Amino acid sequence: MTSVRAVMAVRRLEKYGRVLQTKPSSEELRKEKHTEFHILLATDKDINLLEKVILQVDEIKSVSSQLFEAAEVPVQVIDVAKVVRQQSQSLVPEFIAGDQSSKGEIDVSARPFKNQTIRVQTERLDDLLNLVGEMVITRTRLVTVGSDLKGLDSQNLVLNSLNETTVYLGRLMNELQESVMAMRMVPIGQVFSRFPRLIRDLARKTGKEIELVCYGEETELDKTIIEEIGNPLMHIIRNSIDHGLESAAERRANGKSPQGKITIEAFHEGSHIIIAVSDDGKGIDLNAVKQKALSNGFINSGEELSEKDLTNLIFLPGLSTATQVTDVSGRGVGMDAVKKSLLNLGGMVDIVTTAGKGTMFTIRLPLTLAIIQALLVDVATETYAIPLASVLETLKVQKEEIRSVGGHAIIQLRGSTLPLISLSEHLGLIDPSQNDKFAYVVVVGFGEKRLGLMVDGLKGQQEIVIKSLGELLANVPGFSGATIRGDGKVTLILDVGSLIHDTLVSRN
């Protein structure tokens, strides 16, 4: 029985008396599923009426009750509704014992739990984060001043205490920054809470029996991602139900339980969050995918494709193996859109499918859009940041390895050709140093496409806070935003997607 039903039962009883206690506690009832639960109610109403009230709640199979005289405990009449799917021994005596030991005290946890929250505009939080960032930079200046002064007079005690204070200030700043970041984090349960309804509707529409299991609702991620992730997830679930899960009859014939199961799981992994949506349906028919891709001309008949390659074909626009378009899915646009919106969020999606066993979609997203890991590179006299998520590897290549095919630079990388562009040329920067022996190449990838960016130096990896370039510069090609570095200077963030797109389009 889903937890919401138990809570509903308690709510209904509250109209007829005072719910003194529930077992498990109302908090636990809310969080987990239980096959049975007990309610201790003080009431002057008729038992039969109360039993009826409870039985009206969906999914509750049976009720049993027990009366306690008011004299036994300091309440009037007690009715214990025991709701069971599988009968087990009564917990009532414990109930009473517990109640007597705490005479007169009524468990407050039985009352609805109130969250102490304030709604704040995200803009205000962003402002706060900006200010914190500025303070961090100002503190670094203070540290520099401190160490400069120390160079002048190393014996001064006042200076020592200044330096100690700046160290302490630094620690406070870190904590402040973390707590401001934490304010933007929202539990993913908000998104999950829409799904039971979706599943119910789809179950009705498709005539399949479906059970939804969610884990990790409390996993937190940035609010902006929460807002964007709902639709792609919904799409994946629709697909899993429509294409993945079989009908109850088919499942029975295959020796599975008639009820199909959709599992959604969220958990943290480093600075990423993983959301896995899996079904125990029939899996993706890779042969059908292959046939479809062949007939649509996405692949050639001679091509050797691994299982993984075949699976990934379903992300191509216009590819659907559904023989029939339903109003749930099957138009061949869905997975393509899902992948795109996940890429926009800086995420990745991976599929593992086993014939007859089911399919699992694994989505990997950054915890926040505001802070990313980036590779800082030198280009001529400028420094640029490349989001680490799109960096595949970095190479140091000899200039003579770079070849030109039709006026376009390429290199051979492990047997395949990698198109190459020089960032300083591409951005129209004058390069004073012109190292002619070797160049650093940052290999970036966006989807299936690869591109090598020639840079003058690699500065290392850093966590950066993404800022918008503003409306005026929003359309400047090649840059997706900016960040402010420790020295207060603005560093531009390269837009790998548009760089790849520009280059590959102009070369074709």
Which residues contact another protein by CB under 8 A? 130-131, 133-134, 382, 427-429, 467-473, 475-479, 482, 484, 488-492
Q: Between vectors from CA 330 to CA 327 and to CA 332, what angle results, nearest 5°?
A: 130
Q: How far is the CB of 507 from another protein (least distance, A)?
A: 19
Q: How far apart are CA 73 and CA 57, in angstroms?
A: 29
Q: Considering the complex, state which of residue 78 and residue 132 has its C-beta at the smaller distance from another protein.
A: 132
Q: How far is the CB of 278 from another protein (least distance, A)?
A: 42
List all residues 6 or more positions away from 279 whose beta carbon is below 8 Å from its beta carbon. Answer: 240, 241, 244, 245, 260, 261, 262, 263, 358, 359, 360
**Contact present, 409 and 495 (Cβ < 8 Å):** no
Q: Please, is 256 exposed, middle or buried when counting C-beta atoms within 10 Å of its C-beta (0-12, 13-18, 19+)?
A: buried
Which 8-state DSSP code applies to residue 306? -
Q: Considering the complex, state which of residue 133 and residue 189 has its C-beta at the smaller distance from another protein.
A: 133
Q: How far is the CB of 465 from another protein (least distance, A)?
A: 9
Q: Considering the complex, state which of residue 142 and residue 328 has its C-beta at the smaller distance from another protein.
A: 142
Q: Which string of DSSP letters, residue by residue, matches 450-486? A: EEEEEESEEEEEEEEE-B---GGGTT-TTEEEEEE-T
Task: For residue 95, count other CB atoms closer than 10 A to its CB.
Answer: 22
Which 8-state DSSP code applies to residue 241? I
Q: How far is the CB of 375 from another protein (least distance, A)?
A: 18
The three-class DSSP label of residue 373 is: strand
Written as one letter, the residue type at 278 is S
Burial 183-199 (b: 16+ CB within 10 A, else e): ebbbbbeebbeebeebb
Phi, psi angle pair for 112, to nearest 5° = -55, 135
Q: Considering the complex, state which of residue 287 and residue 468 has its C-beta at the smaller distance from another protein.
A: 468
Which has the closest alpha carbon to 332: 383, 298, 377? Answer: 298
Q: Considering the complex, state which of residue 97 and residue 472 has its C-beta at the smaller distance from another protein.
A: 472
Q: Considering the complex, state which of residue 37 and residue 479 has its C-beta at the smaller distance from another protein.
A: 479
Q: Considering the complex, state which of residue 92 and residue 451 has its C-beta at the smaller distance from another protein.
A: 451
The three-class DSSP label of residue 497 is: helix
Q: Considering the complex, state which of residue 491 and residue 503 has its C-beta at the smaller distance from another protein.
A: 491
**Contact present, 314 and 336 (Cβ < 8 Å):** no
Q: How far is the CB of 182 from another protein (least distance, A)?
A: 19
Q: How far is the CB of 121 from another protein (least distance, A)?
A: 15
Q: Considering the complex, state which of residue 421 and residue 427 has its C-beta at the smaller distance from another protein.
A: 427
Q: How far is the CB of 491 from another protein (least distance, A)?
A: 7
Q: How far is the CB of 130 from another protein (least distance, A)?
A: 3
Q: How far is the CB of 115 from another protein (least distance, A)?
A: 31
Q: How far is the CB of 467 from another protein (least distance, A)?
A: 5
Distances (CA, A) of 385 to 352, 376, 483, 491: 33, 4, 8, 7
Q: How far apart are CA 210 and CA 273, in angstroms?
A: 26
Q: Considering the complex, state which of residue 467 and residue 501 has its C-beta at the smaller distance from another protein.
A: 467
Q: Considering the complex, state which of residue 289 and residue 376 has its C-beta at the smaller distance from another protein.
A: 376
Q: How far apart are CA 318 and CA 244, in angstroms?
A: 19
**Contact present, 61 and 84 (Cβ < 8 Å):** yes
Residue with tokens 């300091």: 74
Q: How far is the CB of 226 from another protein (least distance, A)?
A: 24
Q: How far is the CB of 499 from another protein (least distance, A)?
A: 12
Q: Considering the complex, state which of residue 128 and residue 198 has its C-beta at the smaller distance from another protein.
A: 128
Q: Considering the complex, state which of residue 249 and residue 490 has its C-beta at the smaller distance from another protein.
A: 490
Judge if the upstream peptide bond of residue 24 is cis by omega within 30 degrees of 0. yes
Q: How far is the CB of 466 from another protein (least distance, A)?
A: 10
Question: Do strands 490-494 and 457-465 pair parallel, antiparallel, or not at all (unpaired)?
Answer: unpaired
Which has the closest alpha carbon to 314: 235, 392, 247? Answer: 235
* Residue 79 exposure: Cα atoms within 13 Å on the Cβ side: 25
3-state secondary structure 198-227: HHHHHHHHHCCCEEEEEECCCCEEEHHHHH
